[in-house]
Chains A and B, each alone.
Chain A
Amino acid sequence: MTSATLPSPTSWTDSKRYLWPLGALVLLLPIVGTIGYEQTGWVAMLWFAFFILYGVIPLADYLIGEDKANPPDAVMESLAADRYYRYALFASVPVYLGMWFYMAWFGATHALPWYGWLGLTLSLGVGCGLAINIAHELGHQTSPFERFLAKLALAPGFYGHFYVEHNRGHHIQVATPEDPASSRFGETFYEFFPRCVAGSFKRAWTIEKKRLAREGKSVWHWSNDNLQSWAMTAVLWTIVGVWLGWQAVLFVAIAGAYGGSLLEVINYLEHYGLMRQKRADGSYERCQPHHSWNSNHIVTNVLLYHLQRHSDHHANPTRSYQTLRHFDGVPSLPSGYAAMIVVAYIPSLWFRLMDPKVVAHHQGDMSKANIKPELREAVIAKYATASA
């Protein structure tokens, strides 16, 4: 092969390069809704960010479609080192904090009907959910500044345990029955959600307790990453309480809980039914590309910093978002995460759409799938007969 047939590293451009700042700009949607409300008096405008997430983004994913392009190997290093991408990501944190304070102020200073409150809460919650994804990207980087920003971005929504739990819990146990953040075949989102939240909190606490014990420190030592992020939450919520009253604290707490549910519904669809096999010595095989569900839909991939290229993310956890690659032949979702979370909310629809994909992926041998324990034997028998 001559060099003429290879794309020159300098000629390759990232088609999403100038789209990445949208990840910070969408955090302004709740504010846009409140301005719309002020201008028109329409209470529906307070639902703006919520409508965009559940309506406009899934439609845009459908219309704009997929992008399977990968950066060539020759540019990977320079692409990873390009500070532009870091700054585009960093910018989202102050934007989020500003939006969060503004929304708390807006809620505390406007008399609204209950359905206006609900829209306002859900719109702020969409921002809190997106912020957890931003913290996810930052928390995988290795510099102290990025890790600080990760904890800060989790603080308004009281989700600081995620910083610990995700890297040192989920990434180790992913796609095994032991992982609270990997969903099982036959498990509805409503069963998964409480199991995941309780298991994740517990695991985050235990991980830090063990780490600190190794260093001869108490779990209450200030360097406990959980306590650090929760302390930031305490400071932020106290500011809101003193400035705007306890109702405003309740408002941001409910929005944060809804934001957390958005993260968990995404967790639900990232590894549904997929399972790493055990080796002869009882340990699990390494996490491989076929242990995650993926999507190449452009709109959601931009807004979620390529989170949907999930197989590469688990194979290379510290790989920056702009360099995550599509793999051929990996489990693929029918659409981007925004449309799929709506499906996940409706268990009968979810099972109808996803169960055949899990069965096909395992070629009918469901003993290789991660199945809800109560259903395990029946599911294995059912598909073994069907495929025989």
Chain B
Amino acid sequence: MKKWRCLVCDYIYDEAKGWPDEGIAPGTLWADVPSGWSCPDCGASKGDFELIDD
């Protein structure tokens, strides 16, 4: 499971946790998150996330 960080506000999308509030089940891979999804904190688009290597 990987984590992706919003380049605007530092929100972290954790594939293990998903985002159940908006129907993205835990374990959803980043590639499977809908392209129209945007950062829950600041609204930046999916393209504005970067993979965190750790």
Contact = CB atoms under 8 A, between A and B. Distances in A.
B34 to A, nearest CB: 15
Contacts of A140: 8
B42 interface: yes
Helix, strand, loop or mixed for chain A's interface?
Answer: loop
A315 B42 CA distance: 8
Interface in B5-45: 7-11, 21, 38, 40-45
Contacts of B9: 167-168, 171-172
Contacts, number: 43
B43 A168 contact: no
Contacts of B45: 316, 318
Contacts of A281: 21
Given A142-B48, A318-B48, A167 B8 contact: yes
A71 B7 CA distance: 25
A287 interface: yes
B7 A318 contact: yes
A151 B43 CA distance: 23
Nearest to B39: A317
Contacts of B7: 142, 318
B31 to A, nearest CB: 20
A372 to B, nearest CB: 25
B7 to A, nearest CB: 5
A211 interface: yes
Interface in A161-203: 167-168, 171-172
A368 interface: no
A286 interface: yes
Interface residues of B, number: 14
A318 B10 contact: no
A211 B48 CA distance: 18
Interface string A305-332: 0000000001111100000000000000
Nearest to A143: B7
Contacts of A167: 8-9, 42
A142 B48 CA distance: 8
Contacts of B43: 171, 286-287, 314-317
Given A167-B42, A171-B42, A317 B8 contact: yes
Contact of B40 (A286, A315, A317): A286
A168 B9 CA distance: 4
A281 B7 CA distance: 26
A171 B8 contact: yes
Nearest to A168: B9
Nearest to A315: B43
A263 B44 CA distance: 23
A248 B45 CA distance: 44
A168 to B, nearest CB: 5
Given A211-B10, A317-B8, A172 B41 contact: yes
Contacts of B48: 142, 317-318
Contacts of A316: 38, 43-45
A272 B53 CA distance: 40
Contacts of B44: 316-318
A168 B8 CA distance: 7
A86 B21 CA distance: 37
Given A168-B8, A171-B8, A281-B21, 14 more contacts: A142-B8, A168-B10, A171-B42, A171-B43, A172-B9, A172-B42, A283-B21, A286-B40, A286-B43, A314-B43, A316-B44, A316-B45, A317-B8, A318-B48
Interface of A: 140, 142, 167-168, 171-172, 211, 281, 283, 286-287, 314-318
Interface of B: 7-11, 21, 38, 40-45, 48
13 contacts: A167-B9, A168-B9, A168-B10, A168-B42, A171-B42, A171-B43, A172-B9, A211-B10, A281-B21, A314-B43, A315-B43, A317-B44, A318-B7
